[in-house]
Structure formats: C-alpha cells, structure tokens
Amino acid sequence: MHSSADPLQRPQQSIYSNGLRVRLLPLLGSSQAAALVRVHAGSHDAPSTYPGLAHFLEHLLFLGSRNYSAVEGLMPFVQGCGGQLNASTRERHTDFFFQLPAGQLEEGLHRLLDMLAHPLLAPDAQLREREVLQAEYLARAQDAETLCDAALGRAANPDHPFAGFHAGNRGTLPVEDAAFQQALLGYHRRFYHAGQIELLLAGPQHESVLQRLAEEMDAELASRPAVPRQAPPLRFNAGAWFRLQFNNAQPRLQLAFALDQLPEQAVPALDYLCAWLASEAPGGLAQRLRETGLCQSVKLRTPYWYAGQGVAVIELSLTQRGLDARAVVIDAVLDWMRFFSGDERWQPCREEYQRIRQRNLQNAEPLARLRHWIEPQAWGLDSDEAAIQQALVSLTAQMLGSTPLVLTADKSHCEPIETSGFPLRLRTEPPQRTTPADWHWQQPATNPWLKPNTIRHEAAPIPPALRRQGPEDMSGQGALFLRWQLARCQPSTAMWHTVAHALQPAVWAAQQAGVMLRFENFGSAWCLRLEGFAEAIPAILSDIVPVLTVPPAAAFTKGNSLAERDAALSHDEMLIRQLLNQLPRLLAGSAAADAQPADADPASLSRLWQSAQWQGQAIGFAPSLNGALSDATRALPGTPAVRPVARSKHAALKRWHDLSGSSVTVETALLLFCPLPDHTAKCEASWRLLARVTEADFFRRLRSELQLGYAVFSRFCQFGEHAGVLFAVQSPSASAEEILEHVERFLCDSAAKLANQSEDVIERAARQAADQHVASKADFRAQAEQAWQCLQAGHELDRPAEVADAMRMLQRHDLAAALESLRGADAGWVAVANAPPPDLSWS
C-alpha cells in the first residue's frame, strides 16, 4: 500500500482480496479523520419499474443494521461526536461520507460498514421513510435546478436514462408489494459488495492502522466481481429552444450540450473549463457580460456524467436586458469558448488553474481532500497535462460543433405538460437570431493573491482592538475576524447588500487563493472573516478596504434591488436555508429588523462607518506578517474599540418573524431559537450538553416517526453574540402552528425521559462532550472558530476551557434545570417562519 501525506500527491489505489478498492491519506498532526465510500451504482442502475429505488435504499441504510439500531447507528454517532456526515445518490454512483474527531474513526467505520453490508430494511421503517422521500420530492418540485434538469431530460433520446424520472415519490415506491421488495434486495445484493465499492480514508493514524481498518471492511463485504454497466448513446434535440415557467426572481438561461465518447481525461478538462467559465477575473466572460448589463453570473454544471458521456450545462443568471437579448448572450458565450479553446490560452490559463488547485488542496479539511481524490482523474502533481489538453480540444470541439439546446426559465406563462415525474410548465419557442459580434476577448487577468508579494516589515505594533492568539504559524494557515459594532439604530439591509455585492469579485478571488472570505450581517453588527492561507490574508484585506469604504456606484443600485428581493422568499433556494440566512439579523432584537428601511447611498454608508467601532481576532500569523497585518488593519473604516463592546441581553419575550410577505410557497418552514438565559460557563455547558443528548431524538421523532419532512434538525448554535439551541423543520404537510406544537411536545417528552435517565449515562455524556469541546491544537479551523465565537460573545479566550470544566461537573438535575429554563422561555424565544404567529402570546 502506497500513500502520501503530501496534499498534492495522488493517493495510489490498492485492490484488496475481496475486490475493495482502497486509497489511504495519512494526515500527520490532524485532529480530524474522514471516510468516503463510493458504491458504483446510482439512480440509473435501478429498475426502471421503480424510479427512486436507489435513492430510497440510500435513506434506508441509515435506519438500522444487524449490529446497530437506528438509535446507535452512524448518524446519531457522528452527530454525537460533533462531526459531519451525508450521503448522495447520483446517476451512476452513491456516496457515503463523514468527518469526525480522529479517535472516533474506527467506531464510525464499524457503523458505516454494518449499514452497507447488513441493513435491516424493516417494513415499518420503509413505510415511514417513503413519506420522507415524498416530502423531499415535493420540495424538489419547487427547486429551479431540479425542474430545469427535468425539462432538459425531455430533449434527450427516450431510451437514455437521462430522459427518465429517478427521484422517487410515494407513487413509485410500492413498498407493500413483494415484487418491489425483491427488486430492492436484488439491487442491494447486485451492487453493495466489495467489487463494486471504493473506500477512501484520511486521518492522523499510522498508515498501518488505516490499512487494518480498510482490510476489515474488505473482509466483511461480500466478495463478488464488479458489475459491467453500459449506457446507450446520448443525443439531444440540439438547436431547440424551450421555455420553462418558474416564478423565481432571477431569469435563467441554460445552454445544454450532449457529450459522448470523450476520453477519460475529459473529466479534468471539464473542471478546467468550468473554472474559467465561472471566473470573475477582470476581462473574463462573466465580468464582460455583467458590464454590458446582460447577466449577473455564469457557471458550468454537469447534471449527468458517466463513462465519457454526459450533459454539460452553461447556466447564466440573466438581467431583464439579457432576457430580451438571449441570442446575444449565447453568441457571446460561444465566441468566448472559441477564444478560450485556442492553443495560446492553454499555458497561462493552465498555470493559473494549477496554482488554484494547489492552494485549495493545501488548505482542505480531510473530507474535502477525499471528495477531491475520489474522482479518478482529479488534478494532481502527476496529471498528464498533454492528455488533458487533448481532451479539452475534443470537449470544446463537441460543444462548438453542435448547436446547444436552449432553455429559458422565467415567469413567462406556459401550460402544464404531461409528465411521469416532476410537474413542468414547458413549451417550445422559436429561436432568436442575432448578428454575430466581435467581442475582442483578452486573456483574463491573473489573480494577484495566488502569489502574494508580502512586504516583510519589521514587527510593527498591532492596534489593541486586534487580539492575537497563537500558534504563531499553523502550517501556513491563518484566520482574521473583524466585527464592527454599528450605531444603535440598525442600518438598512440595502446598505449591507451594497457592501456585500461590491465584495463578490473579492470573495471569488480569495477562494481561488485558498482564503474563505465572508461578510456577514448580524443586524447591529457587521462581521468580516478571512480564513485560510495566512500569507495572502493581509494583502486581501488591504485590497478590499477601499471597496468596504467606497463601493462603486453600481453596487448601491444592486444593493437596493437585493434588499427588495430579500423582502420576498424565493424559489431559487431551499426555504429553510433562506430563513437561516435571515435569522442572525433578526436576532438583533429591534423591531426595525422586520421593517424594510431606506435605500443605501454613499453618504449614509460614510456616516455608518464613521460611527462604527471595530474589534478583531487574529490567529496563526507568523511574526514576519505583523507589519502587513498592522498596515491593513490601521486602514480599516471605523474606530478601533479601546474596551470590549457591551453585548446585549435577550428580553424574556416570544418574538415571531413572519417572512411570508406576498410569497406563495407549498411548504412551511419554522426556526425556533432559544437563547441562553445567562452568560455563565455553567449555563452554556448545560445547554450545549442538553442540545447534544436530544439532537438525535429530535431528528428521529419529527423526521422518521412523525414524517414532517426531510429537513429537520436541532443543535446548539451561535449567531454573532447570540448563543442558544435551534430547532428547525421544513414540512410539506404541517403548518407552522403544528410544527411548533410538535417541538413543544418533544421538549415535554424529553423532560420525562431525562427524569428517568440514569446518572451514569448523563455523566458519561458530559465527560465525552467535555473532552471534545476544547478545540485540539492540531485543528486550526476549530481553534479559530472558538476564538471568533469568544470575541463575538464578549468572552475571554479561555472560555472553551471554562465550559469544558463546567461540563465535567454536570449532573442530571443540571440538564433538567436547563430544559425547564428553555421550555419556559426564560430568555425569550425567537421564531422565524413563512407564516403568521399562532396566537397573541407572540410579539
């Protein structure tokens, strides 16, 4: 077995005795470990008689296995460790993956292996989970991308699986029928065995330990050879124009290309093309189209790809002008592709692309590395550049050699059509014509932050408002957090949108340079986060300060329109995610948070910055960067805070924010945030533990047993200075009032369960939570996040250790008191929903 700790080195694959394909990534010094299993079978491999069977099986695997009940399985285990997990069923493969504290990797793998090899597939669980898939189907029936792909499928040759419906719903999953059960078991037997599975492991364990874990999985999985799978040729009704009615705020234009018989290196070639199509670099396609007022953004996605054939979709978010001149937009895109595919573009663009991938891999978490390397031809130091260039020639030749299928999604009226899957309002329309233009494309500008030329000042004094925390150099990573406390009166959301929009090109360029840039709105405070490659952060901050203080005039126009759009819920994004995006601002507590304030303008923004006070937290910067960091922070708008800014305290009120407006949505979503009643370490410790021990029960009760919907979770959260427990549900069947009643009933039942819980169970959970609460010195991201949370909440940096110590002392009566305080809304409740409050007890 050969592997490497070098993040740029492709891990070699080994095939074990039963046929399991394995790649190992030892990560020296990491506190986290990750696993990714790819089963080479997906929705297109399921019997056409039962659309959605593959997706259904993916769900069922989490609901109990031979050695682990649903309560003891992978999902509650990873959640209990504070980790992350998910699964995804694609057209020709299904992925299962998780990341958790390194010491828990073996336990997590045992659960993953057991659910893959020995699922229970209990009939009652199938009936319940079918309702979850029905809820997911209804939600996806409101999703723009899903409906666009369904519309594109109607243009494909009907004998190809891409033309079919594969999501599954109540009508396609007859779990009561013996024939369906036979098909379900047959699909599992055919594909869930060692010969059809890949395993990738990453962690700080010695390579021999990772190898032993992989061998155990290989030995436990059934030994059968890989299943040969074919796909018929893929063709499109090329040149056709379709119109899809979708009441989203932003019109979409999609250019779809059917690709076939491409070499295997077409996968990295497609990723390379995708990077440059979406590029926000000056002189690039997106910027030129935005400057001409035709489009807001460009991206390339592949809703289907398998064995050298696939569907590539160039998606453009259009302005009204672009909607009226779609033929001009299409001409620009195709003309740019002809320019980009020229030989003279390859070398400079390829070098830039390599720097981007290199930087991103160097800063990637274990799971992100696995998700990169699971693709066989993903970029690495050993990539065959000549073969990729040749594949790019073949790829662009196919795309430019055929007329794309054109799909426009907007509010134009279309009659519903007969479908066996997602409901569509779709019609054909005559193609638009235009006179080809010469766009005079130029080589896009290089990203200066990929090769920062940091001036090495002598160590300069850092403003006292910026707190420093070690380690001084964490493998080249750094994090800088800045928080501006704004004037008592909340600024308009239009003002924040103006600055956020002006920063968008910087967000994109920073991400390329291995730095995550986020500008967040917490109502009475604005926050800027820069995390990643430390050497680039001072340069990025210096370059964006002028954008923060004096955004271009166009940003004010866009900011005002975005604020208007914020007032109405959109179909472009999942409903519960839209409510989560609004929650931090609404927690500020002012009644003005619900209002739609005045438009943004330069004078108002200038006054806002003049009255703002800022504080900051820097972690991971070597002393050699002090000068650059000092220069960048001294130029910040606002006044450095000489003493900690006072944090607000929640009033014991029940506040309800109805975001429905005039929007009509099929589903209901509710967020219930219960803030901490006081700021003591013991209070935080007890509420954190309470959230941890009830998280899996909440998910199981409301999602699996009550089948309210597929978007259900609860957890301890901190939004800016506000910490507490969050409950979240999106449901296609229950009203906001009914969801709230279910949450309250769950809390009541939790009190009864807690009263009967043994002290040993509580003390063991408290010890485990305490041991995992303080971020490991090897986990830079977790360290930085805890430092940032301390700053926002007004705590000292030793707060996590205080909370961990308090956790170790917790007993059952402490959790009972915390639950009673939460149920009694001692610090108030904040509800956010797309519905009015259920009664007059809410303000």
Active site residue ranges: 58
Q: How far apart are CA 649 and CA 273, in angstroms?
A: 50
Q: How far apart are CA 147 and CA 140, in angstroms?
A: 8
Tokens of 649: 């305290």
End-to-end Cα distance, the chain: 63
Provide the CA 424 distance to its chain's centre, in angstroms: 27
User: Strands of 309-318's sheet, edge to edge?
Assistant: 295-306, 309-318, 252-259, 405-410, 241-245, 424-428, 416-417
DSSP 331-392: HHHHHHHHHHTSHHHHHHHHHHHHHHHHHHHHT--HHHHHHHHTSTT---TT--HHHHHHHH
Which of 728, 713, 730, 714 is CA-nearest to residue 668? Answer: 730
Tokens of 172: 């396609």
Q: How far apart are CA 713 and CA 574, in angstroms?
A: 15
Q: How far apart are CA 524 and CA 491, in angstroms?
A: 7
Peptide bond into 471 cis (omega under 30): yes
3-state secondary structure string across 200-254: EEEECCCHHHHHHHHHHHHHHCCCCCCCCCCCCCCCECCCCEEEEECCCCCCEEE
In the chain, count of helices (H) and strands (E)?
Answer: 27, 24
Q: How far apart are CA 757 and CA 755, in angstroms?
A: 6
Q: Backbone dihedral region of 806: left (phi > 0), alpha (psi from -120 to 50 degrees) or beta?
A: alpha
Q: How far apart are CA 362 and CA 778, in angstroms?
A: 15
Q: How far apart are CA 322 and CA 296, in angstroms?
A: 9
CA angle at residue 401 from 398 to 405, to 5 degrees?
Answer: 85
> Dihedral sign, CA of 822, 825, 827, 832?
positive
Tokens of 838: 């259920």
Cα-flanking dihedrals φ and ψ of residue 342, to 5°?
A: -65, 150
Place of tokens 């066989």: 376
CA angle at residue 654 from 653 to 658, to 5 degrees?
Answer: 135
Question: What SS3 class is residue 122?
Answer: coil
Tokens of 348: 């400079």
Output the CA torsion 85→91→92→98 (10° steps): 0
The answer to whether residues 136 and 150 touch, using CB atoms and an 8 Å cutoff, is: no
Amino acid at 320: Q
Tokens of 442: 């130029």
Place of tokens 């308009």: 492
| Interstrand relation of 477-485 and 525-533 (parallel, antiparallel or unpaired) | antiparallel
The answer to whether residues 493 and 563 touch, using CB atoms and an 8 Å cutoff, is: yes
The 10 Å CB-count burial string (b at 16+, else e) for 64-100 is bbeebebeebbbbbbbbbbbebebebbbbbbbbbbbb
Question: What SS3 class is residue 491?
Answer: coil
Q: How far apart are CA 581 and CA 579, in angstroms?
A: 5
Which of 830, 841, 792 is CA-nearest to residue 589? Answer: 830
